[in-house]
């Protein structure tokens, strides 16, 4: 065991080509900066290339995405503490593991679709590994608990013939429908097939990826919504566990599950499933003016109808009132601005339709059970 003021030598073996890996590293470095410094060894690496430690490496600990027997055996040879951050831990490899709680992610997806009025919902996975199949089963269970069924399709390969099969399946789906898709790669495939088939995304088919990558999301048209994995938090927690082990503390070889941070909504799910013509007008008006100081009177002027009738019909379709829908849009925008920008709190409040930061805080806490400042810290640790 090293002395308190010694510098730990730590190897990080994760992909650096995707946002997932880079955020893991960011979380690790955030923790290291608090307790370190650490001397960190990282080699730029793609997801499909095998990670490995350099010959002759002399270190104190490893944080790695351990998914192959070769890497597991190599790490074992160095006889140092290791924490695994793989979403699919290698069977037989014993080490503490930190990963996303994907079951919570499927619950979030189900609620996301239901909140937007969808009753036709489906899942697109792949047959490349057991994970997408398990994920689809968990999503189907989440829907069944809400008395909804799940259309399912599993992509076999990247061939043109497979794309044709997927297009035919998409054409035959009841519409409007919302689809949860395993991974942003498959998400893009679904969006591209919809475009080729002349199917509108998101109005006919809304598409939500089970993961989110900012760059790859915007490389897709329309931009792809996704479930935000707590990757920085995973890196931070993994570093914390490794630090304890390098100091000689005993850490159980068990998996720690961290819930997803939420859903990053982009254009691919930016819609509400509405068939009622009057409600369509109301929804359109709300979406256009949600960040202005509008009231029920403004809505009823734009779409003349009895207030009680509007509230009843809106409640039947969406399970909430028109004013609740305005609040949902405002808080969703606040979440995005808090997570993605460094804007001052008062500017965020005004951009979301609230006159003061204090009022935004009051409403935000009602919805999320945390203040805007705490939410920003959660989304951007360190």
pLDDT above 80: residue 380: no
Same domain, 217 and 144: yes
pLDDT above 70: residue 1: no
Domain boundary among 245, 269, 293: 269
Note whether residue 249 is domain-resident: yes
| Chain segment 205-234, per-residue pLDDT in tens | 999 999 999 888 999 999 999 999 999 999
Same domain, 154 and 48: no
Same domain, 189 and 167: yes
Instruction: Note if the pTM is more than 0.85.
Output: no
Same domain, 119 and 225: yes
CATH label of the domain that carries residue 337: 1.10.10.60
Note whether residue 321 is domain-resident: yes
Same domain, 94 and 187: no
Note whether residue 177 is domain-resident: yes
Note whether residue 133 is domain-resident: yes
Same domain, 246 and 283: no
CA atoms within 13 A on the CB side of 231: 21
Q: Which domain holds residue 12?
A: 8-99+230-259
| Chain segment 134-158, per-residue pLDDT in tens | 999 999 999 999 999 999 999 998 8
Give CA–CA dist 247/231, Å, rounded.
24
% of the chain exceeding 70 in pLDDT? 97
Same domain, 180 and 79: no
| Chain segment 311-365, per-residue pLDDT in tens | 999 998 888 999 999 999 999 899 889 987 889 999 999 999 999 999 999 999 9
Q: Report the number of distinct structural domains present in the chain.
A: 3
Identify the band that residue 87 occupies on the pLDDT scale cut at 50, 70 and 90. confident
pLDDT above 90: residue 122: yes
Pairing of strands 97-100, 151-155: unpaired
Identify the band that residue 2 occupies on the pLDDT scale cut at 50, 70 and 90. low
Burial of 250 (0-12, 13-18, 19+ CB in 10 A): exposed
Same domain, 21 and 94: yes
Mean pLDDT of the chain: 91
CATH label of the domain that carries residue 16: 3.40.50.2300
Note whether residue 3 is domain-resident: no
Same domain, 86 and 15: yes
Burial of 193 (0-12, 13-18, 19+ CB in 10 A): buried
Same domain, 95 and 235: yes
Note whether residue 2 is domain-resident: no
pLDDT score of 48: 55
Same domain, 282 and 333: yes
Same domain, 172 and 241: no
| Chain segment 15-54, per-residue pLDDT in tens | 888 889 999 999 999 999 999 789 999 987 765 555 788 8
């Amino acid at each position: 065991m090293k002395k308190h003021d010694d510098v730990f030598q730590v190897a990080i073996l994760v992909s650096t080509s995707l946002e997932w890996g880079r955020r893991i590293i960011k979380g690790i470095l955030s923790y290291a900066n608090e307790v370190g410094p650490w001397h960190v060894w990282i080699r730029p690496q793609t997801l499909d290339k095998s990670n490995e430690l350099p010959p002759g490496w002399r270190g104190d600990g490893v944080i790695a995405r351990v998914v192959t027997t070769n890497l597991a055996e190599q790490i074992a040879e160095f006889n140092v503490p290791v924490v695994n951050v793989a979403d699919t831990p290698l069977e037989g490899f014993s080490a503490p593991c930190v990963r996303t709680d994907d079951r919570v992610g499927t619950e979030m997806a189900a609620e996301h679709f239901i909140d937007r009025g969808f009753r036709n919902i489906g899942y697109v996975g792949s047959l490349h590994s057991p994970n997408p199949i398990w994920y689809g089963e968990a999503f189907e269970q989440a829907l069944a608990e809400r008395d909804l069924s799940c259309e399912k399709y599993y992509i076999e390969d990247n061939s043109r013939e497979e794309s044709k099969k997927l297009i035919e399946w998409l054409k035959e789906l009841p519409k409007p429908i919302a689809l949860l898709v395993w991974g942003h790669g498959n998400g893009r495939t679904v969006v591209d097939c919809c475009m080729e088939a002349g199917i509108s995304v998101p109005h006919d088919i809304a598409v939500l990826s089970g993961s989110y990558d900012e760059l790859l999301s915007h490389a897709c048209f329309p931009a792809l919504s996704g479930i935000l994995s707590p990757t920085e938090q995973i890196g931070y927690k993994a570093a914390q566990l490794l630090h304890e082990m390098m100091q000689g503390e005993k850490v159980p070889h068990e998996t720690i599950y961290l819930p997803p941070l939420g859903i990053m909504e982009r254009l691919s799910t930016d819609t509400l499933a509405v068939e009622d013509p009057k409600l369509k007008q109301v929804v359109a008006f709300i979406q256009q003016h949600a960040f202005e100081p509008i009231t029920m009177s403004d809505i009823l002027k734009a779409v003349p109808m009895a207030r009680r009738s509007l509230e009843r019909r809106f409640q039947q379709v969406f399970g909430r009132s028109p004013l609740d829908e305005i609040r949902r849009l405002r808080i969703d925008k606040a979440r995005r601005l808090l997570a993605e920008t460094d804007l001052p709190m008062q500017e965020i409040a005004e951009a979301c339709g609230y006159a003061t930061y204090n009022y935004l805080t009051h409403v935000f806490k009602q919805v999320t059970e945390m203040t805007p400042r705490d939410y920003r810290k959660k989304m951007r640790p360190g």
